[in-house]
Amino acid sequence: MISLKRYLDGERVPPTGEEDLPETGILAVALAAYGSALMEMGNCSLEACPGLGDELKHCLRELQEGLVVTMSREAIQTTDKDAQVQLREWGRRTARHYREKAGEVRELLLTVARTAESVGARDQRCAGQMHAVTDRLQAIASLEDLTEIRASIEKSTAELKSSIQRMSEEGKAAVEELRKKVSDYEAKLEAAEELASRDALTKLRSRLYLESQIERHMAAPRRFCIAVADIDGFKKVNDQFGHVVGDEVLKQFAGELKSACRSTDIIGRWGGDEFLILLDCGLAEASAQTERVRKWVCGSYAISSPSGRIKLELNASIGLAERAPDEKMKELLSRADAAMYAQKDAARDGTRL
């Protein structure tokens, strides 16, 4: 195992018998592993907090792209410190974000409690007024003068009517205020749920959303299939043209994938250059659909880059699996993934399964 820390500390890594790489080769492997870890942290931050993860992922990517073998030890240490600062800042912002969300929920609960309290106070106040009216009506029975009786009844009736009207108005105001608060919170909650269900880069459905939909399909007694699509040779695109172009490829590919799928299909980004399609049908129909999708998404792409337009020929491998009775999600995904890699192997051999 290569120790990047020991390299940064100036220690020489002793040979293990399995590593006969020159020092630059060892550093290249270590930097590649470190860069991969940075990118994975960026991807995980999107899942943890979609609203704030995209900024961290962008910053970590810039640090990852700056990792080259010719870097000095000081430059690597600076990159490492920058990464730590970015992670700490993201952690603080995320904690503050969730505190604010928790505060919104708390405010809603307090509004409900205040509304219930005000309704209770109003009812007690009206009950007191009702008792006063009742006492006055009872006192009327002891009156002998008809004029006094009539005046007392009219006064009691007016007070009773006023009390009922006030109770109705106060109740409507309290309920309306509560309804407004709940409506505002529902709108915020829906926006947050929509954001969490979308992949920040491609705007397709997120992995978490896909997993929830697979679980829903598994709970229902119906046939469905999973298709895993992977762009062939995508790493070469990133290595040759950089991650900015790679991101543009992913966005365009996602758009073509969505266009090729049916309205009943659920499409999302599983991770990296891997996409997933949930098809609500049996294997035969799903097989015909995925082949149509593969032909649609494969071909020429015109990509914008800082240096101008780039034309790329993209191919994709798609693995398909129908869920077997009582099969777990992990097993189903594993079969679809294996079918996708079989497609890749067949493409390298010049054939297509």
Stretch among 36-50, 220-234, 250-264, 272-286 having the lowest mean pLDDT:
36-50
* Residue 213 pLDDT exceeds 60: yes
**Residue 234 corresponds to which amino acid?**
F
Residue 351 has pLDDT above 60, yes or no: no
- Tell me the average pLDDT of the chain: 79
The pLDDT assigned to 18 comes to: 44
Cα 65 from Cα 42, distance rounded (Å): 13
| 65: helix, strand or coil | helix
What whole-number distance in Å separates Cα of residue 353 and Cα of residue 350?
10
Residues 6+ apart with CB under 8 A from 264: 280
The yes-or-no verdict on residue 42 having pLDDT over 90 is: no
CA-CA distance, 294 to 280, in Å (whole number)?
Answer: 18
Report, in angstroms and rounded to the nearest whole number, the Rg of the chain calculated over CA atoms.
33
For residue range 245-263, list pLDDT tens digits in order: 999 999 999 999 999 999 9
Q: Quick one: the chain helix, strand, coil %, rounded to 5?
A: 70, 10, 20
* Residue indicated by tokens 């896909």: 210
Q: At 240, which amino acid appears?
A: Q
Q: What is the DSSP letter of 12?
A: P
Q: What is the pLDDT of residues 147-175, one digit of tens each?
A: 665 666 666 666 666 666 666 666 677 66
Q: Higher pLDDT residue, 246 or 65?
A: 246
User: Which two structure tokens, joined as six digits, stand for 15?
Assistant: 């040979």
Higher pLDDT, 4 or 109: 109
The more confident residue out of 22 and 265 is 265
DSSP character at residue 11: P
- Chain-centre distance for alpha carbon 270: 12
Tokens in use for 73? 């030890």
Question: In this structure, what are the phi and psi dihedrals at residue 221, rounded to the nearest 5 degrees?
Answer: -80, 70
The residue with greater pLDDT, 322 or 238, is 322
Helix axes 146-196, 50-65, angle to 10 degrees: 20
Distance from C-alpha of 110 to C-alpha of 196, rounded to nearest angstrom: 26
